[in-house]
A and B are shown apart, each in its own frame.
Chain A
């Protein structure tokens, strides 16, 4: 447990000093807003509002891919990953520390992106803010759990930047299905449907357990 907290603290301090991951993710997701503007030209505001949940999650997921790739690229310098593998105790705690740091950073980017999307596409996110935050947290938990496990593998292969999306995206479609369904309801002012929330909770639980246990075999050298 202490290992997890130490790694979380280390990653957050590193990020605070360099600020490169958050800035890169944020810039990328803001560019996505522009991409959507040009890819879906001449839409009426209400049309864009209907599309917004899907667009928002698209921007969030692609920005996360960027951040997750960086989360282990950092550890490759000076062979820090082997150092991490020597930490006492179950390696699952290393996973939890890395995943928690990614969760914090990605959530921060998500909040800022949502704010900008609300301005660009004239969305009211103030009223459903609490529910939206809950749905986003559930979705992001699934993304960071599976993403951290697969990023730890992808970073030590050839073409690592390419491989992570190919490995991770198929595992994220269930998350996307539940999260977008819930976000559509929340943005229309309704409570999120029970099935979607249930699906997200099940995925989060399964991904957390699989990644926690699987991480033991990933670092083993």
Chain B
């Protein structure tokens, strides 16, 4: 009987089924997207009009992309771990969906970072890859989060997948400080430039760097929210199907 009532209801927007947190972030997506479009244009213009580096030439402009991608990747992995812990503590599925979304967006950022880095390396160091501690650690993290996504797809879905993934997300986050500790110990022979202070950038290079960070941070949030909403809708649709199928 309940199934009949359910199907005769007027169609409500699919997002109405989502938990409050996801509905709220879903609403922020459109204005964020518009802001992102504007920032992208500004970003492109500042990068193009920034002065050329006197030593490295045009390849130096990767600097406006590469470090912001790195921040996004780390942010993604940290959010994955925090959302995992929240899920383990109170068992609310939206946290697990956030962890998955964040890991996926983090992997995209990390992949782009691992692509832009060697391009710069080939132009500046003369080779694609060096076993520099910082590079090695990033590559390792990339593998951790690919393993995280693989674990999710191999463990069949449901609460067990969410629990396994949450634990592995925490293990991955524990590895970040451990790996930086290794850099401290064995890192004497590193080639990677030290983290840049704004003051160390040349004239006219500070602005595109700041805008780049801002744009990619916004892009990260935008992708994360979008991905989170898709997962939420997918779960809501699965619930509806289950409820409809169970009633008839």
Smallest distance from the beta carbon of B187 to chain A beta carbons, Å? 11
Segment among B106-114, B172-180, B226-234 that sits at the interface with chain A = B172-180
Contact status B167-A157, CB under 8 Å: no
Contact status B156-A157, CB under 8 Å: yes
A-B contact count (CB 8 A): 75
Instruction: Describe B's contact surface by its main secondary structure.
Output: helix
Smallest distance from the beta carbon of A212 to chain B beta carbons, Å? 12
CA distance A166 to B145 in the complex (A): 11
The answer to whether the Cβ of B171 comes within 8 Å of any Cβ in the partner chain is yes
Q: Classify chain B's interface size.
A: 20 to 34
Smallest distance from the beta carbon of B125 to chain A beta carbons, Å? 23
Contact status B154-A199, CB under 8 Å: no
CA distance A158 to B175 in the complex (A): 25
CA distance A163 to B164 in the complex (A): 13
The answer to whether the Cβ of B59 comes within 8 Å of any Cβ in the partner chain is no
Smallest distance from the beta carbon of B57 to chain A beta carbons, Å? 35
Q: Classify chain A's interface size.
A: 20 to 34
Smallest distance from the beta carbon of A50 to chain B beta carbons, Å? 18
Contact status A181-B167, CB under 8 Å: no
The answer to whether the Cβ of A38 comes within 8 Å of any Cβ in the partner chain is no
Instruction: Describe A's contact surface by its main secondary structure.
Output: helix
Contact status B167-A199, CB under 8 Å: no
Contact status B144-A153, CB under 8 Å: no
Considering only CB atoms, which chain B residue lies closest to A162 in the complex?
B154
Contact status B155-A156, CB under 8 Å: yes
The answer to whether the Cβ of A220 comes within 8 Å of any Cβ in the partner chain is yes
Residues of B within 8 A of A181 (CB): 186
Q: Given A153-B155, A199-B185, A206 and B178 touching (CB < 8 A)?
A: yes
CA distance A167 to B152 in the complex (A): 11
Residues of B within 8 A of A177 (CB): 182, 186
Given contacts A157-B151, A210-B171, 4 further A-B contacts (CB under 8 A): A167-B168, A170-B175, A173-B140, A174-B175
Q: What are 19 A-B pairs at a CB distance below 8 A?
A: A149-B171, A153-B164, A153-B168, A154-B151, A156-B155, A157-B151, A157-B154, A157-B155, A158-B156, A163-B151, A167-B151, A171-B144, A171-B171, A173-B140, A177-B182, A195-B185, A199-B181, A199-B182, A206-B174
User: Which 5 pairs, one residue from A and one from B, show the smallest C-beta to C-beta distance?
Assistant: A157-B154, A157-B155, A214-B167, A170-B144, A195-B185
